Amino acid sequence: MASASAILAGLYLAVGAGTVVGWMTAMRVKMTAMPQMVSLFNGMGGACAAIISIVEYHSHPDGDAMYLLVVFLGLIIGSISFSGSMVAFGKLDEKIKDFSAKWLTIFNLLLLGVIICVLVVAVSSPAIFGPSVLWILLLLSLLYGVLFVMPIGGADMPVVISLLNSLTGMAAAFGGFLYHNQVMLTGGILVGSAGTILTVLMCKAMNRSLLNVIIGSFGGGGTAAGAATGDQVVKEINLTDAAILCAYASKVCIVPGYGLAVAQAQHICHDLEKQLENKGVEVYYAIHPVAGRMPGHMNVLLAEADVPYPKLVEMEDANGMMNSTDVVIVVGANDVVNPSAKDDPGSPIYGMPVIEVWDAKNIIVMKRSMRSGYAGIENPLFFHSKTKMLFGDAKETLQKLVGEVKMT
C-alpha cells in the first residue's frame, strides 16, 4: 500500500513539475519563437511515446506479435519525431544550417529500409535479436530523424513541423493502445489525423507532393536564375510619399511575413489598417499558407492583434483581388511573394504558388535590408518596376507610417 502511495505521489510530483516548467516556458516565449517552442514540445511528446514503448517492452518481453508490433512502432515513430523535432528546433532558431547532398537522400532511403527490415524480423522472430532489438531500433530511428530533417529547406519547414506533429500523435496513439487508455488513444488519433490532413493541405497549397517535400529539399539555399543582376536598380520611397500613396488609395493589401513577427509589429500593423479605413480605404490582408515558420503563423499573429478574421484573405482569393488593388504593402515577407516561383524554371521554388503582388498597381516592400528570405534565394520583386523599398525595422517604420497617414 505504501509503495502504491509513493508511486502516486511521484506521479503527482512529476505532473506538477512538468506543468510549472511548461507554463513558465510558454509564458516567457516570444511570439517570434513560437515555432521553436512548438517543435520543442512536439519533440517531448515523441520522446514520451518512445519511453512508453521501452518500459512496456521490458514489462512484457514475451508479448505476442501484435503487441510487439505496437511497441516497436511506437518506439520508431516516437524516436523519429523526437530527433527530427530537435533538428527542426535548431534550424528554426538558426543554430543548425541546412545540409543537403544527393547521397544523403539515398542513404536515408536505405536507412529507412533497414529499420523496416529490423522491425519485421523483430516481430516475426523475436529470438534473433533478443532484447537488444529495442536499442537497435532506438538508435536507428534517432539517426533517421536527424538525417530526415537535416536537408529540408527553409520553405518547407512549416510542412515538416506539421508532419512531425502528426507522427507524435500516431506515437501517442500506440501508447494508448498499449495501456488500453481510450483517452490517450483517441487524443493521439485526433492529433495524428489532424496533422496528416494539415500536411496534405499545405503540400497541395505549395503544389507539391509530400514525397517531393521530404526528398526534394525545397528551398535549400539555391539562387534563382532570375535574381538580381548588376544593372538592376532598387527604387526607394520615403515615409511621406508612402503615406500619401496609401491614404489616397481605394484598396490596400497588406502581406505579412516572418519579418512582421520578428519585429512584433502586428499591433502597429492593425493601427495602420484602422487609420487607412478612417480615410475610406478598403484594407485586407493576403495570407500565404506557409508564410512564417509554422502552419497558421500569420493567422495567430494577426488574431493576437485583434484583426477581424474576415479581413484575412487566403492566397487564391487574394490573387484574384490584386488587379483591383491600388497598393500592396509587403511587411517582412519574401519567398511567398517571389515571382521566380511563377516564371523561372531554374528557381528552387519554381511551381510553388505565391501571392502575385506584382498584379497590383503599386508595391511597397518593407524590409530591414536586401537580404534573401528563409529559402535563401534572391527575390526579383525588389527590382520590379512597380516596387518601391521602404527600409527599416518593421515596427518602427510602421509607427512612423501611421503618424504620416494621420497627418495626410
Q: What is the pLDDT of residues 230-247, one digit of tens each?
A: 456 788 999 999 999 999
Looking at residues 52-59, what average pLDDT do you find? 90
Amino acid residing at 40:
L
Q: How far is CA 279 from CA 52, 191, 242, 271, 382, in A?
A: 60, 45, 15, 13, 28
Lowest mean pLDDT across 4-13, 386-395, 397-406 = 4-13
| In the chain, % of residues over pLDDT 70 | 90
pLDDT attached to residue 282: 95
pLDDT attached to residue 371: 65
Q: Which residue of the set 335, 344, 359, 393 is catalytic?
A: 335
Lowest mean pLDDT across 109-123, 135-149, 372-386 = 372-386
Looking at residues 279-290, what average pLDDT do you find? 92
pLDDT attached to residue 60: 77
Is position 335 annotated as part of the catalytic site? yes
pLDDT band per the 50, 70, 90 thresholds, residue 217: low
pLDDT attached to residue 198: 85
Nearest to 33 by CA among 301, 365, 299: 301
Cell reading at 156: 518547407
Question: Counting beta carbons within 10 angstroms of the beta carbon of residue 117, is it exposed (0 to 12), middle (13 to 18) or buried (19 or more)?
Answer: exposed
pLDDT attached to residue 229: 47
pLDDT band per the 50, 70, 90 thresholds, residue 202: confident
Lowest mean pLDDT across 27-41, 66-80, 134-148, 362-376 = 362-376
Looking at residues 60-85, what average pLDDT do you find? 90
pLDDT attached to residue 226: 42
Beta strands per DSSP E along 245-396: 251-256, 282-287, 312-314, 327-331, 362-367, 387-391
Looking at residues 136-162, what average pLDDT do you find? 86
- Mean pLDDT value across the chain: 85
Angle between helices 266-278 and 297-304 (to 10 degrees): 70
Question: Counting beta carbons within 10 angstroms of the beta carbon of residue 399, is it exposed (0 to 12), middle (13 to 18) or buried (19 or more)?
Answer: middle
Model-wide pTM > 0.85? no
Looking at residues 141-155, what average pLDDT do you find? 85
pLDDT attached to residue 31: 65
pLDDT attached to residue 332: 85
The H helix count followed by the E strand count for the chain is: 16, 6
pLDDT attached to residue 228: 46
Q: Is the pLDDT of residue 159 over 60?
A: yes
pLDDT attached to residue 224: 41
Looking at residues 174-184, what average pLDDT do you find? 90
pLDDT attached to residue 215: 64
pLDDT attached to residue 278: 92
pLDDT band per the 50, 70, 90 thresholds, residue 220: very low
Looking at residues 257-279, what average pLDDT do you find? 89
pLDDT attached to residue 1: 47
pLDDT band per the 50, 70, 90 thresholds, residue 370: low
pLDDT attached to residue 134: 92
Q: Which domains does the chain have, with CATH numbers?
A: 29-216 (no CATH), 239-407 (3.40.50.1220)
Looking at residues 298-311, what average pLDDT do you find? 89
pLDDT attached to residue 12: 87
pLDDT band per the 50, 70, 90 thresholds, residue 42: very high
pLDDT band per the 50, 70, 90 thresholds, residue 221: very low
Q: Is the pLDDT of residue 35 over 90?
A: no
- Contact residues for 132 (Cβ-Cβ < 8 A; gap 6+): none
pLDDT band per the 50, 70, 90 thresholds, residue 285: very high
Strand order in the sheet with 387-391: 312-314, 282-287, 251-256, 327-331, 362-367, 387-391
